[in-house]
A and B are shown apart, each in its own frame.
Chain A
Amino acid sequence: AQSVAQPEDQVNVAEGNPLTVKCTYSVSGNPYLFWYVQYPNRGLQFLLKYITGDNLVKGSYGFEAEFNKSQTSFHLKKPSALVSDSALYFCAVRGDSSYKLIFGSGTRLLVRP
């Protein structure tokens, strides 16, 4: 069965510092991995995805994520956090033979000035 775990309900970081939001997954076959961000009263906004190729994926707004097959992880990172990055972040996965996207429970990122 497919599953996604985001072990941290909230991540706090100071503006200008690097940030990491953790995600681990379980899926049959090759994983398709996604990160989405959700601002208050807004829908989910796509940040980046891993399908195949380079393990380091670059996305919108300076975010990147590293795919680690042995650890079944896909952590979201940013070298220098902005206050405007404060939002709810969701990791999602699907197998390469399935359309069904499974979401994690979300991690709230709080960047303090």
Chain B
Amino acid sequence: EAGVVQSPRYKIIEKKQPVAFWCNPISGHNTLYWYRQNLGQGPELLIRYENEEAVDDSQLPKDRFSAERLKGVDSTLKIQPAELGDSAVYLCASSSPGHAGEQFFGPGTRLTVL
């Protein structure tokens, strides 16, 4: 089966600019996650979707971050405006109930904010 697809793989922007990341989960996976991975650290959950509903966005900095999952498939994560501290790898993952919580990760988008 095809894996989780993310684009772009790399993005370099100047601070205060907007940026968007796109994710296409594994077909049939109802649950979609966005994580942020800072250098030298493990991933940290930003938001979790069940179909098109954001069921856990408690860790999403809502003043500048937003996400959507229209039609319960693809998802977009946006930052506006970006800050220097947003430089990180943004990972998307998906899972289905039958995998007992096993999440499948995409390759990530490495964001550099100058």
Contact = CB atoms under 8 A, between A and B. Distances in A.
Interface string A8-39: 00000000000000000000000010101000
B77 to A, nearest CB: 15
Classify the interface of chain A: helix, strand, loop or mixed: strand
B3 to A, nearest CB: 8
Interface in A47-89: 49, 51
Given A32-B100, A34-B102, A106 B42 contact: yes
A99 B54 CA distance: 13
Nearest to A100: B45
Interface residues of B, number: 24
Q: Is the interface of B mostly helix, strand, loop or mixed?
A: loop
B53 to A, nearest CB: 13
Contacts of A105: 40-42
13 contacts: A36-B105, A42-B107, A43-B91, A43-B105, A46-B102, A49-B100, A49-B102, A99-B56, A100-B48, A103-B43, A103-B44, A105-B40, A106-B40
Q: What 3 A-B pairs come out closest when comparing CB atoms?
A: A103-B42, A43-B105, A44-B105
Interface of A: 4, 32, 34, 36, 41-46, 49, 51, 90, 92, 94, 99-101, 103-106
